[in-house]
Structure 1
Amino acid sequence: MDAADLSDSGTPMTIASFASPMSASAVAMVDAPARLHLGFLDPSASLGRRFASLGLVINGMSTQVSVSASECDAIEVPADCGNEVRERLARHLAALRTETGMLAPLHVVLHRSPPAHAGFGSGTQLALALGRAFSACHRLDLETRRIAALLARGGRSGVGIAGFDRGGLLLDGGPGVEGATPPLLARMAFPQAWRVLLVLDEQRDGLHGAEERVAMERLAPFPRELAAELCHQVLMRVLPGAMESDFEPFAEGVSTLQRLIGDYFAPAQGGSMYTSPAVERVLEWIRPRYCAGIGQSSWGPTGFAILPTAARAAEIIAAARAAGVVDPALRLVVVAGRNHGAQLDDRPSSPWGGCGSA
């Protein structure tokens, strides 16, 4: 251990040794954006490097977490989140404390979040939002990649981590040596006029946890020629289309990427590129009638149609409903891309009343 790692008394120094004292009246609020996972480029590492992800950060489905000083620990979540989210926050909080040595009681509130296991990357955004709020509340300077590694996020895709910092349309290069966080290869602004029609089936969950790991292990090797085709579509259609606001090649590239990677994952989803038959019905009705970038985010069940304008999105929703292809259980939402990352509001607040108070 270097001399710089010791305090004057000779004891080891932790991150807490360098942090400023936490203000008893401070609250740190973080608003973290959702992302759509548009597809992997090489799930089987045909050239030695696995995955690589294309993703889009969106408005309208953000995660909001606040952290403030308290008389005793308390974690609050919305009633519809259940114990799973509360327990996940508790585990993340424990990991952050172990890493930093900051043990003061905290009041953690999850104010809102998108549906879990629906394709929005909610688990990563929950972890990063808590980590950033914890860091700000203690006046630490924890980088996003460090928070992600500490809380075991970004094992396959890096677009949620990069999206938390920067927003926009993102391409990562897949995990590095020994699972290092995927490097960001390209980031560009998503055209302001374009919109995303989200088709949500909130009665279903996408694969996650142990079931997801088993499904990934059972998939056949992804052919190298298909990986090359996906890279070709992204490099020569999707990225230049977004950069030049040229919608048609962008949409065709996204749809081709989704069809090819969706067919590969179909055996794990009942034989379809979609988890939800109701979502499939809507999007496959749109496909032959409109120019749109169509697919499913991650394991779904959320599907999407990327469209050139808000007016076109409204037109399609009305036409689909009139055609009777929208199941009453579905929720259709139109959102814009989000070209900035998470937002931190670090401000004084009124004193909190203690355990159990709102």
Structure 2
Amino acid sequence: MQLPGRRLQPDACVMVDAPARLHLGFLDPNASLGRAFGSLGLVIDSAGTQVEARRAAHDQIEGTMTDAERERIAICLERLHAAYDPTPVAIEVTRTPRAHSGLGSGTQLSLAVGSAFVRLLGHAATSAELASLLGRGARSGIGVLGFDCGGLLVDGGPSGDLHPGVPPLLARQPFPDSWRVLLVSDNAREGLHGAEERRGLAALAPFPQKLAAHLCHLLLMKILPGVAERNLVPFAQGLTEMQQTIGEYFAPVQGGVFASPDVERALRAVAAERTAGIGQSSWGPTGFAIVADAREAEGALATARDATRGVPHIECTIVTGRNRGATVRGVVAPQQQRIDAA
């Protein structure tokens, strides 16, 4: 996404709606052919981040957020001021998903703040440029690419020092409108992050090249053809097998194929009754089941709730895929008249 370099009026406000994403798996964590990771991901039309930005007498950070998120925004503003403009701004977070739940909240928040800042103050910037400045997208490009375009995405993984920056987009397929995604999240847990994540990755054994080749084969010959032809069966089979394979690899550091046994129990129950692509987004604890339509989703929701009855920290919701990226728009206060969109 290229944000236009036209400064808004002094009383303007910029509003950014950044979508959440599901990280559906890595292709080659060990870089057996020279490129590490490579990712499959899906942008969803729920659990996104919304921020607003205005000029102010001094930098302000407002809204409902954790201390860590407030600190993240402060660091973003410091870098944005140094790179683009010293003008102080007020950032208000009006919505954000729970951090470290597997929905990409850190990248959403950083890109939303960065996009609001440059749009408000009239600087041209791409999402990739903002991600590089703000320290996002170094391992997986799904969050940054999803911010731009939505859909089901495949990135090529980072290429190293010769081509630093966000991994390239290799493939994008629109997610079928009729398909639904059941999200099952364990609100008593957090996914690995920060130093703990780095230690966990360092402790893992090398990922066998044979398995990396198998994952790429599943992606190219089952998952992508399935979504392109709107055929859930090969898509679900390929995705579930991919998730099982990568989950077994990460099991020593996350405690199992799924980070949450309760989430796993719910999703295994769903898959036992109907065709569904199941797995865990990133380090969890959010898991997913992708099914053919709204009726199947309601049945999957009932099954998941039955499987976790009496477990209050499990939350189940139905969402759709999102085939568009973030929205960035400027309004004039207080009349809230729309003046631009990107």
TM-score category (smaller protein)? over 0.9
Q: Return the letter of the residue paired with 1:109.
A: E
How big is each residue's C-alpha offset from its partner over 1:84-127, in whole Å with a ceiling of 9 and x where there is no partner?
A: 11111010011011011x11221100110111001011101111
How big is each residue's C-alpha offset from its partner over 1:4-44, in whole Å with a ceiling of 9 and x where there is no partner?
A: xxxxxxxxxxxxxx965552211110000000000000000
CA distance, structure 2, for counterparts of residue 118 and residue 84 of structure 1: 14
SS in structure 1 opposite 2:76?
helix
| Structure 1 residues 72 and 236, CA gap change in structure 2 (3 angstroms) | same
Question: 2:177 matched to 1:185?
Answer: no
| Structure 1 residues 181 and 320, CA gap change in structure 2 (3 angstroms) | closer
Q: Return the letter of the residue paired with 1:217.
A: A
SS in structure 2 opposite 1:57?
strand
Q: Return the letter of the residue paired with 2:191.
A: G
Structure 2, unaligned stretches of length 5 or more?
A: 336-342
Contact 1:285 1:325 (8 Å CA) reproduced: no
CA distance, structure 2, for counterparts of residue 47 and residue 120 of structure 1: 29
Instruction: Name 2:94's counterpart in structure 1.
Output: 111
Instruction: Name 1:11's counterpart in structure 2.
Output: none
CA distance, structure 2, for counterparts of residue 29 and residue 60 of structure 1: 17
CA distance, structure 2, for counterparts of residue 319 and residue 21 of structure 1: 52
Q: Give the alignment of 1:1-358 within 5 angstroms.
A: 22-78=8-64, 81-100=65-84, 102-178=85-161, 179-270=164-255, 272-322=256-306, 327-350=311-334
SS in structure 2 opposite 1:287?
helix
| Structure 1 residues 135 and 287, CA gap change in structure 2 (3 angstroms) | same
Aligned-residue identity in percent: 50
SS in structure 1 opposite 2:125?
coil
CA distance, structure 1, for counterparts of residue 55 and residue 135 of structure 2: 25
| Structure 1 residues 22 and 175, CA gap change in structure 2 (3 angstroms) | same
Q: Which has the larger radius of gyration?
A: 1
CA-atom RMSD, angstroms? 1.5
SS in structure 1 opposite 2:226?
helix
SS in structure 2 opposite 1:337?
coil
Per the TM alignment, residue 72 of structure 1 is displaced from its structure 2 partner at its CA by 2.4
Contact 1:197 1:305 (8 Å CA) reproduced: yes
Q: Which is worse superposed, 153-162 or 326-335?
A: 326-335
Q: Return the letter of the residue paired with 1:56.
A: L
Instruction: Name 2:339's counterpart in structure 1.
Output: none
| Structure 1 residues 55 and 21, CA gap change in structure 2 (3 angstroms) | closer
SS in structure 2 opposite 1:288?
helix
Per the TM alignment, residue 71 of structure 1 is displaced from its structure 2 partner at its CA by 2.3
CA distance, structure 2, for counterparts of residue 316 and residue 22 of structure 1: 47
Q: Return the letter of the residue paired with 1:327.
A: V
| Structure 1 residues 212 and 324, CA gap change in structure 2 (3 angstroms) | closer
Per the TM alignment, residue 322 of structure 1 is displaced from its structure 2 partner at its CA by 4.0
Contact 1:278 1:326 (8 Å CA) reproduced: no
CA distance, structure 2, for counterparts of residue 30 and residue 320 of structure 1: 33
Per the TM alignment, residue 288 of structure 1 is displaced from its structure 2 partner at its CA by 1.9
Per the TM alignment, residue 316 of structure 1 is displaced from its structure 2 partner at its CA by 1.9
Contact 2:14 2:52 (8 Å CA) reproduced: yes
SS in structure 1 opposite 2:272?
coil
Q: Return the letter of the residue paired with 1:120.
A: L
CA distance, structure 2, for counterparts of residue 68 and residue 264 of structure 1: 46
CA distance, structure 2, for counterparts of residue 257 and residue 19 of structure 1: 42
Per the TM alignment, residue 280 of structure 1 is displaced from its structure 2 partner at its CA by 1.1
How big is each residue's C-alpha offset from its partner over 1:217-266, in whole Å with a ceiling of 9 and x where there is no partner?
A: 01000000000000000000000110110110000111010000000000
| Structure 1 residues 322 and 303, CA gap change in structure 2 (3 angstroms) | closer
CA distance, structure 2, for counterparts of residue 208 and residue 33 of structure 1: 20
Contact 1:282 1:325 (8 Å CA) reproduced: no
How big is each residue's C-alpha offset from its partner over 1:137-166, in whole Å with a ceiling of 9 and x where there is no partner?
A: 011111110000000101110011110000
Structure 1, unaligned stretches of length 5 or more?
A: 1-17, 352-358
Per the TM alignment, residue 347 of structure 1 is displaced from its structure 2 partner at its CA by 1.2
Contact 1:222 1:264 (8 Å CA) reproduced: yes
SS in structure 1 opposite 2:41?
strand
| Structure 1 residues 320 and 202, CA gap change in structure 2 (3 angstroms) | closer
CA distance, structure 2, for counterparts of residue 106 and residue 208 of structure 1: 29
Q: Return the letter of the residue paired with 1:284.
A: R
Contact 1:281 1:325 (8 Å CA) reproduced: no
Contact 1:37 1:53 (8 Å CA) reproduced: yes
Q: Return the letter of the residue paired with 1:85.
A: E
Relative to the length of structure 2, the TM-score reads 0.93
Per the TM alignment, residue 202 of structure 1 is displaced from its structure 2 partner at its CA by 1.2
